[in-house]
Amino acid sequence: MAFSSNSDGGAMSDMNIIPLADVMLVLLVIFMMTAPIPSYPIDIDLPQRSLTPPVNPLDPPEPIRLRIDQSGTIFWNDSPTPMSALRNMMEAEVERDVNNQPTLEIDVNDQAEYGTLAKVLAIARNAQMQKIGFVKK
């Protein structure tokens, strides 16, 4: 309680709640720290220990170098190839070994049209080529 006087000369009868608020905040923090945190189970598929060592993959096949020059001509391993023959050639490479495909390394001239590259990428996707990379000069 405060003992200041008000205008009529009597003692101030209002309760000081600051210490009460401090005690309440301390109790709130204590209860928050000691309350159990609810836990929810999460299913995780972890790798299991195997007694047999993994089989080493086969040596990767030689990559396919596909070059597009500024005139839009496509070169398959340095030999000119028409756009219509690309899908058959890519499908033949995929069918040799589906799990061990060669990497398709695409080298595009800076002056080449984007439409030619987009067509080549669409053909590669439709032929199920999985490893496609770009050669940086």
At 44 the pLDDT is 86
CA nearest to 89, candidates 71, 109, 115, 65: 65
Q: Give the separation between CA 43 and CA 26, rounded to whole angstroms.
A: 38
Domain coverage including residue 117: 64-134
In a domain, 14, yes or no: no
Q: Report the half-sphere exposure of 126 (CA within 13 A, side-chain side).
A: 10
For the whole model, what pTM was predicted? Answer: 0.57
In a domain, 49, yes or no: no
At 56 the pLDDT is 63
In a domain, 25, yes or no: no
At 89 the pLDDT is 93
In a domain, 6, yes or no: no
Query: Residue 69 belongs to a domain with what CATH number?
Result: 3.30.420.270
83-96 helix and 114-126 helix, angle to the nearest 10 degrees: 30
Local mean pLDDT, 10-residue blocks, the chain (137 residues): 59 83 94 85 85 72 91 92 92 86 91 92 92 86
In a domain, 116, yes or no: yes
At 49 the pLDDT is 85
Domain count for the chain, please give it: 1
At 96 the pLDDT is 87
Decide: helix, strand or coil at residue 93.
helix
In a domain, 47, yes or no: no
In a domain, 79, yes or no: yes
SS3 track for 26-37:
HHHHHHHHHCCC
In a domain, 90, yes or no: yes
Nearby residues of 112 by Cβ (< 8 Å), 6 or more positions away: 68, 69, 70, 71, 72
Residue with tokens 């984007």: 114
At 48 the pLDDT is 86
